[in-house]
Structure 1
């Protein structure tokens, strides 16, 4: 029987919101971006970002999960969007990976300003498509709340709903999936999940432990998730930043009433077996008029790797732009 885990005081590794297996290839070394970084000045420092797609294509900004997790692992999604016809921006958020900072005060506000700065650099005043995976979907809503006229459309990939209803049982769900896959051997202690610096000891060791213990539960094939987790290092995840990001959002969430005031279509792509399903989709449908809904089978949280063909077809249906003079079958 799966061992019940004590009630968690902090979100458990929502970094899985941004991880995937690149090309279905198992790798044991840490991966990284395959494209050269571009830079933009941001509040006296340099922010690195990566672009794929034709220079004159409409711009999409791809936002990864976490918070506090790197984004190089979203390159397959970036590549698909570029093939569909977008110029796609992907970057590590401030505080982690290429854009690591020694200290980052008010992370949610800093991330919002970071997106705004890169948006202006790449697209000037052009409206953009925001594609956000899991936590990244919330980050898309946070950005749109301050600049709704700058956003053409939002695509939510296995999102966390704005009121975070689906998170209530996430801890137990992760533990149950892990126990079902590998039993009780090497079960993590409660302290392994405590992201506070004062109790975590070496945060690098702590980050690697969380990645290895929780990330595989976000794959339908648990062993595939274990293999994939080996690509990540402590540079890819900041547990303390994860906690502070979630806390900042809880203090200032984006409400459904606010979202309904925007003239911004919102699409949903998710896996039927996702850890946050069906609660998140039910909450979104009860409160918003979603433009398009695609529910995929045979995957948990990373459909571009678990069911790549099914995911690619769904993504194309949702974001493909009609040719000039042609009509559109959706908002």
Structure 2
């Protein structure tokens, strides 16, 4: 299905499931594409699930900037309106968690709940990125020939991406297999989009205005972490402290894509949001 934005860009989108809450999924990246087929399969009996590829990415129209959070928030609102969704629950993963949070901050009255999966919090990028890079080198270096091969390949190569994504899984024996599934189907990574939005995040994240906006956000939020994500989980503490209506769930043994390695735990956690049970000033891990 094609959704056309107000500036004429064509976005790929899909709706699955029947009844229940509306759930809109925001994929990671930036510059990647929707990899939420497994998530949709877990939740379509509980929700109407909408998936979409962000502008310039995957099955959406390529090369179509501008690459700004404001523009991506506007695109998400176009998707919401296209499917006539009143106050959907937003589920964002990694960069998509940041996008979903940005949308909720801009339009809290249009959001029924937020599921923030494997994000990196609201502190400056500089506070956690060094630890992430160290963890990346250590985990990929567990198999030295993989690390050496990754360094030989160039950005945009599918094999390099699979090797890089393999660090995102807690189960090291199946990591390469699981990363290969992420790359099927394979689309060209939009590095221009990735660079532009990454630079914007470095400048705008961690400001007093962002902390204040999160403190005022009157939307129930569920934070979902995989215990073995190489992005330091303490980076998300900043967001948890700021939000007035938040619950946090840590899935033991899971990595950056927790629904892959603990599908039942993930389904249970998100199901609580869809059932409307994540309400009020509830906080803590569970």
Q: Is the contact between residue 93 and residue 111 of structure 1 (CA under 8 Å) also seen in structure 2?
A: yes
Q: 2:251 pairs with 266, 286, 296, which one?
A: 296
Q: Is the contact between residue 216 and residue 223 of structure 1 (CA under 8 Å) also seen in structure 2?
A: no
Cα deviation for residue 110 of structure 1 reads 2.6
Q: Is the contact between residue 268 and residue 290 of structure 1 (CA under 8 Å) also seen in structure 2?
A: no
Q: Is the contact between residue 150 and residue 164 of structure 2 (CA under 8 Å) also seen in structure 1?
A: no
SS at match of 2:187: helix
Structure 2 length-normalised TM: 0.85
Q: 1:208 pairs with 141, 158, 161, which one?
A: 158
**1:39 — aligned with what?**
2
The answer on 1:246 being equivalent to 2:198 is yes
Show the 5 A alignment for 1:209-248.
Answer: 209-231=159-181, 232=183, 235-248=187-200
**More moved, 159-168 vs 226-235:** 226-235
SS at match of 1:255: helix
Would the alpha carbon gap of residues 184 and 274 (structure 1) be closer, same or farther in structure 2, given more than 3 Å must change?
closer
Q: 1:121 pairs with 52, 57, 82, which one?
A: 82
Answer 1 or 2: higher relative contact order, Cα 8 Å, separation at least 6. 1
Q: 1:286 pairs with 241, 260, 280, which one?
A: 241
SS at match of 1:117: helix
- Aligned equivalents of 1:304 and 1:180: distance in 2? 24
Would the alpha carbon gap of residues 181 and 313 (structure 1) be closer, same or farther in structure 2, given more than 3 Å must change?
farther
- Aligned equivalents of 2:160 and 2:147: distance in 1? 16
**2:12 — aligned with what?**
48
Which structure has the larger Rg over C-alpha atoms? 1
Cα deviation for residue 46 of structure 1 reads 2.4
**2:33 — aligned with what?**
70
- Aligned equivalents of 1:289 and 1:176: distance in 2? 36
1:116-161 per-position Cα deviation (integer Å, ceiling 9, x unaligned): 111111135x112111111111001221222121112111111121
- Aligned equivalents of 1:100 and 1:137: distance in 2? 22
Q: 2:217 pairs with 241, 259, 262, which one?
A: 262
1:137-186 per-position Cα deviation (integer Å, ceiling 9, x unaligned): 10012212221211121111111212244333111111100112345762
Cα deviation for residue 248 of structure 1 reads 2.1
**1:176 — aligned with what?**
138
Cα deviation for residue 104 of structure 1 reads 1.8
SS at match of 2:41: helix
Cα deviation for residue 49 of structure 1 reads 0.3
- Aligned equivalents of 1:329 and 1:266: distance in 2? 7
**1:308 — aligned with what?**
263
**2:232 — aligned with what?**
277
SS at match of 1:230: helix
Cα deviation for residue 230 of structure 1 reads 3.1
**1:138 — aligned with what?**
98
Cα deviation for residue 249 of structure 1 reads 2.5
SS at match of 1:316: helix
SS at match of 1:262: coil
**1:148 — aligned with what?**
108
- List gaps (5 residues or longer) in structure 2: 281-286
